[in-house]
Structures are given as structure tokens and as C-alpha cells.
Amino acid sequence: MNNVYPAFNYQQMIELHHNNAAIKFLFLPYMAMGEEVIAALRMHPEVVIIAQSNHDNRVGEYRGMIQEIMTEGLTNPVVIFMFQNENDKEDMQLKAAADMGALIFDGLCDGIFLLNQGKIGIEEVDATAFGILQAGRVRTSKTEYISCPGCGRTLYDLQDTIAKIKNATSHLKGLKIGIMGCIVNGPGEMADADYGYVGAARGKVSLYKKKECIEKNIPEEEAVNRLIDLIKKNGDYTEK
């Protein structure tokens, strides 16, 4: 591993000073963070640190490294690098999400870099990385659905409606759609959604754009199509 992604050394420091690229990346393990490295990073705040760890407790080591970066007052962006050698997609996803998710939720990194050299396609690895960023609420790249679990107050067939809305919108990028069974708690629970589909009365639905109610009491049979029309009218829809 260290042969592929070498620790910071004198040659790299020379390259840092003489490299005129707009963005510079530096692979950096915690153990390599000596005085010279810290001084070089202070002189080059544009350098993006690719934090690297092979420790058994990677999260602990990353935390230690970022703590030191903060203590030194360095402002270089930090990307967490994770190398895996998994052949099972679920194993890759769980390990990446557990390690990187913890650091994202604590606000300790500016990006993630996931590399898997097992038999999992690059598309799956990319999808996992984007999924982790979206779950960590730092980058939304696919449609997200916020729905209530349903209860005695639900005013329409929630499961069937969720399936229809997903079928019509899952290809869109970066939208949040709230699907709520009733008006009592619905608008409050989906407060950060871009669009909302909320039960208004038995068999009737109201549609929201952000927090504003745009259409009231639409018959349930028409409501999914009217939601799509509303998304189109606001320029947020692309054809499949």
C-alpha cells in the first residue's frame, strides 16, 4: 500500500513548492505529520490533504490527524481516503459508511475518496461514495424521499403512492420530496423538502413547493400527475 501511496517525503515537499497546478493533492498518513510537513502545509493552504490510514482503528487515527491539523491552525481541505479490497458489495458499503459516515457527521472532512480493488465495479463504488455523502447530508445527488410511517390519520394509500412517486421521479437529481399521510404533522415533518405531497382530506391531496401550499384538495387519482406537473413547471424535471 505504501508503495502505491507513499508517505510524505522530501521529494514531495520540493514538488509542492514547484508545482503550479490549480489544485494539488497530498497523500498523507498521520505518522508522516512532522514539523517540516506542517510548515509546508502552512505555506501552501491550497494543498488538499488526502488523509491516509491503514490502522486497525482508522477512524481513531483520522480523528487524531484532523485534531492535529486543527490544533496547528492549518486550513488545508481534508479528504478522507479509504482503501478496500472487498469482493462483496454489502461488505464494501458497510465498512465505508461506518468509517466515513462517522467523520462526516462530526464535520471533520471536506471530502471522501473511496478506492476498492476487489471485484466490485467502479459504478458501485461511485454510487456508494455518493450515497454516503447524501446520507451524511453534505451532498445531495439523487432524489430523496421523506415520508411519514403512516398511522390512523393517513388519508390515502401511502405505500402505493410512495411507489408511484418513486417510479416517476427516482431518476431526478438532488430533489427532496416529502410524502405525508395527513395535514396534522405532515408540513412540519417535511419542512426541508423541495416538494410535498400531503393528505388534505379523505381521498384529497395538497401539493407544496417548499413550505408553500400550491394546490389544495386535488382528487387522489390525479395527485401524482399533478405533482409531476408542478415539478416540471418549476424546471426541476428531466425526462427519463
187 binds ligand SF4 (CB under 6 A): no
Minimum distance from residue 162 beta carbon to ligand SF4 (Å): 12
* Minimum distance, C-beta of residue 188 to ligand SF4, in the bound complex (Å): 9
Report the residue from 134, 140, 141, 185 that binds ligand SF4 according to the rule CB under 6 A: 185
- The C-alpha atoms of residue 234 and residue 8 are separated, in whole angstroms, by 49
> Which one of residues 40, 66, 100, 180 is an interface residue with ligand SF4 (CB under 6 A)?
180
| Closer residue to ligand SF4 in complex, CB, 73/188 | 188
> How many CB atoms within 10 Å of residue 169?
20
End-to-end CA distance of the chain: 41
Closer of 124 and 192 to ligand SF4 (Cβ): 192
Q: Using CB under 6 A, pick the residue from 14, 43, 151, 191 that binds ligand SF4.
A: 151
- Picking from 116, 66, 77, 122, the residue whose alpha carbon sits closest to that of residue 95 is 116
Distance CA 167, CA 73 (A): 48
For residue 58, the one-letter residue type is R
The DSSP call for residue 127 is H
Residues 205-224 within binding reach of ligand SF4 (CB under 6 A):
none
Q: Is 231 helix (H, G, I), strand (E, B) or coil?
A: helix
Q: Does residue number 148 form part of the binding site for ligand SF4 (CB under 6 A)?
A: yes
**Residues in the site for ligand SF4, rule: CB under 6 A?**
148-151, 153-154, 180-182, 184-186, 189
